[in-house]
Amino acid sequence: MFLRYYMVGDIQTNCYIAAADGSKDCIVVDPGDYGAYIIEQAKSNGYEISAILLTHGHFDHIQGVNEIKEKTGCKIYILDKEKELLETPRLNCSIMHKGPYSAKADVYVKDGDIINEAGLAFNVIATPGHTIGSACFYVPNEKVLFAGDTLFQMSVGRCDLPTGSERTLRESIKNNLYILPDDVMVYPGHGPETSIGFEKKHNYFV
């Protein structure tokens, strides 16, 4: 599996480019800014972007979406419950940053769906809490989880923004993520990578 990450935007969001070995296409997880740069990085590694997977709709995870969509024609995936937040600057908090920004998805997925892109199968895991429509994308064959702002190394995403709920976030992590194998690697929206096993032992926020 090809996997690279790039810190983008003022809040240093982790944006990921991933593809199966031998694939000519790649996916991008959470292009929070620098759309042209992300396209350039994909091409420099021999890939065309076929899809964007959004873990949630906050501005710092979506501000590269429209540029990438316009230049590549890729599909945009997000959980169905996140539609309003993605499309509403007041809810995605972009109006509190550089100015109103919104995007629209092509495919609205649900918990349990499987996204097949770039030679990989991504299991959609709904993890409400950071936002009502937050989701993680799990690649079982590679033991890789893209966690967005649900789970960080020894921390969790904030819950004081629109549609957030601390209690729901903890339940999502315990019931939907901690059931995964301990050796699953977690690639979060901010900060360093971690593993399910490490977080079960050391994450005191859950």
Q: What is the pLDDT of residues 101-137, one digit of tens each?
A: 999 999 999 999 999 999 999 999 999 999 999 999 9
pLDDT tens digits for range 147-157: 999 999 999 99
pLDDT digits (tens, 9 = 90+) for 5-25: 999 999 999 999 999 999 999
* Alpha-carbon torsion, ordered 118, 123, 124, 129, to 10 deg: -120
Q: 2-202 belongs to which homologous superfamily?
A: Ribonuclease Z/Hydroxyacylglutathione hydrolase-like (3.60.15.10)
Long-range Cβ contacts of 134-142 (<8 Å, 24+ apart): 134/55, 134/56, 134/79, 134/82, 134/172, 135/55, 135/56, 135/78, 135/79, 135/82, 135/109, 135/111, 136/55, 136/176, 136/177, 137/29, 137/53, 137/55, 138/180, 138/184, 139/1, 139/18, 142/1
Domain ranges of the chain: 2-202
- pLDDT score of 97: 85
Farthest CA pair distance, the chain? 43
Whether the pLDDT of residue 139 is over 90: the answer is yes
Q: Residue 144's pLDDT is what?
A: 99
pLDDT of 169 reads 98
> Which pLDDT score, from 0 to 100, does residue 98 have?
84
What's the pLDDT tens digit per position in 56-100?
999 999 999 999 999 999 999 999 999 999 999 999 999 988 899
In this structure, are residues 86 and 54 in contact, taking their beta carbons and an 8 Å threshold?
A: yes
